[in-house]
Amino acid sequence: MEAVLRKPPPDWDQRAVAAPYLSALRQHFDQDAIEPSWLDGLFTGLSQELRAVYRDQDVDRALEGLDRLLAKYDLAEKEIRTQNPSRASAKILECWNRIARAATTKPTPPPQQSYNNQAAVPPVETPPSRPKTPTTRLRLNGRAMHKSAVPTWIFLVAMSWVALIWGAIISLPFGIGLAVFASMMVGFITVPAWATLWSWLGMGAVRDSTLRSMNFKDVPPDHPLAVISGAFARDLDLPPPRIGTMDVANAFAMGTRRTDATISFGTPLLEILSPDEVAAIIGHELGHVVNGDMRRMMLMRTFQNATVFYMLTQRGKQFARWVICWAAELMILGSSRQREFYADAIGAALAGKDAMISALRKLERAPPLTTEEKTHARFMARGKLSSIANLLSTHPTFQERIAAVEQETYLRRLPRRS
C-alpha cells in the first residue's frame, strides 16, 4: 500500500491533480484513520476535479487511470487484511468498489468548486496535529502591525466633549440649554468617565450578543476554515482564533483583544467562493485582528452606546448617536472605510491578489444585507453603502476596494519580515 501511494504522478495525471488527495490518503492511512464516508468524499472530489481540469479524451483517460489506481488499492487492502485484519475491514473494501464505479461514470458538467459543495470536496487536510496549510504569498510582520487602542480612546473622549457642546446648543430652544452649559465642566469629566467604564466592561457582552444574534456556530479544529485561519494566524504571529459559521453571506471578526478573537464566516459564501477566495476573506478578517481594528471598532461602538445609555433599543441608540454625537459618528465611519482597505491588503498578501480581487467581485454580487447585518455593518466584510454620500457608508465601494488591491496602494505599506 505504501509503495502504491508514494509513486510519482502517473502518466494519466500529468497536471498532478491527484497529488494532494493521495497525500491526504497516505497520511490518514498511516494513522489508521480511513473512514468509508471520508474516503467516499475524497474520491468523489478527486473524480470531479479530474473532470474539471481535463477535457475530451483526456477526461476518459484520467478516469480510467483513477479506476486502475483504485483497483491497485483494492488489491493492497486485501493483502493487508490477510496479514493484519485490524488494519482493514470489509466495509472499506466495499467502499473501494463503490467509489470505483462512481468515479468511472460518464462525466456531467462539474459544479463550481466550494467547501460546502459535497460534489466538489477540496483536498482533505492532514490530521489536526499537523494540518496541511495554505502557503503565504508574502511574509508579513504581524507584530509590526499591532496598534494600540489608546489613541482611539482619546479621540472618543474629545468627541464626547464636542457632543456635550452640541447637545447644549440644540437644547437651548427647550429651556435646558443653559443648565447644560452650566454643568459643562462637570460633564467634561463624568460623561467620558462613564462611557469609558461601561465601554471596557461591555465589550465582551457585545461580542457574545452579536454572535448569538448572528446564529454563530463553532466549527471543529479540522474544518478547512479552522485549518486556514490557524495557518494564517501563525504567519501573523497571532494565536489561532475561534472560528465558526453563520447563516448570512458575510464575515466578521470580533473580540476584546488579539488573544480571544472570533471570526464568523457565512455558509452562503462557502457556496459561491472558491477555496482560494475563502482564504482571502479569512485573511481579510485576520487583518482586522492583527492591526487592532477589531478592538478599536468594538471600543467605538460600546463607548458611543454608553453615551446614549438612556435609549433602550439599538435603533434608539443609533438615532440618538446621530442627533447628538454626529461628529464622532462621521469620524468613526471614516475610520471604518479606511480599515477595510488595509484588511483587503492583508487578505491579498496572505492568499494572493487575484484571490482577493475575485472574492470582492463575488461579494459585490451577494444578496442584500439582512437587518442583522445592517445592525452590525461596521464589523462585516461587506457593509452599508450610502447612495447619498460616501461619508455615510461603513465601507468603501467595491470598485474602490478592487482598485486599491490591483494598484497595491495599501499592500505596499504593510511591514514585511526581513
Residue 93's pLDDT is 45
d(CA 107, CA 59): 8
Residue 325's pLDDT is 80
Q: Highest-confidence range of 79-83, 87-91, 268-272, by mean pLDDT? A: 268-272
Give me the mean pLDDT over the 230-248 stretch.
93
How do residues 36-72 score in pLDDT, each as one tens digit?
A: 656 666 766 676 667 667 765 576 777 777 777 766 6
Contact 31, 7 (CB under 8 A): no
Residue % of the chain over a pLDDT of 70: 68
d(CA 169, CA 178): 9
Give me the mean pLDDT over the 115-127 stretch.
43
DSSP state letters, 129-187:
TS---PPPSS-B-TGGG---SHHHHHHHHHHHHHHHHHHHHHTGGGT-HHHHHHTHHHH
Give me the mean pLDDT over the 184-192 stretch.
75
Contact 359, 280 (CB under 8 A): yes
Contact 405, 356 (CB under 8 A): yes
Residue 322 has pLDDT above 80, yes or no: no
Packed helices 398-406 and 326-351: angle between N→C axes, nearest 10 degrees: 40
Beta-carbon neighbour count of residue 310 at 10 Å? 8
Residue 400 has pLDDT above 60, yes or no: yes
Residue 277's pLDDT is 93
Q: Phi-psi category of 161—alpha, beta or left, where left has phi over 0 and alpha has psi -120 to 50?
A: alpha
Residue 30's pLDDT is 64
Q: Which helix (H) or strand (E) holds 245?
A: strand 242-246
Residue bearing the bigger pLDDT, 252 or 10: 252
How do residues 341-386 score in pLDDT, each as one tens digit?
A: 999 999 999 999 999 999 999 999 998 999 888 888 888 999 888 7
Give me the mean pLDDT over the 96-110 stretch.
42
Sequence-distant (6+) residues with CB within 8 A of 87 are 32, 80, 81
Name the pLDDT band for 182 (thresholds 50, 70, 90).
low
Q: Which helix (H) or strand (E) holds 244?
A: strand 242-246
Residue 223 has pLDDT above 50, yes or no: yes
Residue 392 has pLDDT above 60, yes or no: yes
Residue 95's pLDDT is 47
How do residues 274-284 score in pLDDT, each as one tens digit?
A: 888 999 999 99
Q: For residue 297, which of 206, 378, 376 has the smallest C-alpha distance?
A: 378
Average pLDDT, the chain: 76
C-alpha cell at 295: 478592538
Packed helices 224-235 and 275-290: angle between N→C axes, nearest 10 degrees: 50
DSSP state letters, 253-291:
EE-SSGGG-EEEEEHHHHHHS-HHHHHHHHHHHHHHHHT
Q: What DSSP state is assigned to residue 380?
A: B
Weakest-pLDDT range from 110-114, 293-297, 305-309: 110-114
d(CA 409, CA 414): 10
Residue bearing the bigger pLDDT, 223 or 404: 404
d(CA 154, CA 143): 23
Q: Which residues are catalytic?
A: 285
Beta-carbon neighbour count of residue 266 at 10 Å? 24
Q: What pTM was estimated for this model as a whole?
A: 0.65
Sequence-distant (6+) residues with CB within 8 A of 26 are 2, 5, 6
Angle at 135 between CA 129 and CA 140, to 5 degrees: 105
Residue 316's pLDDT is 72
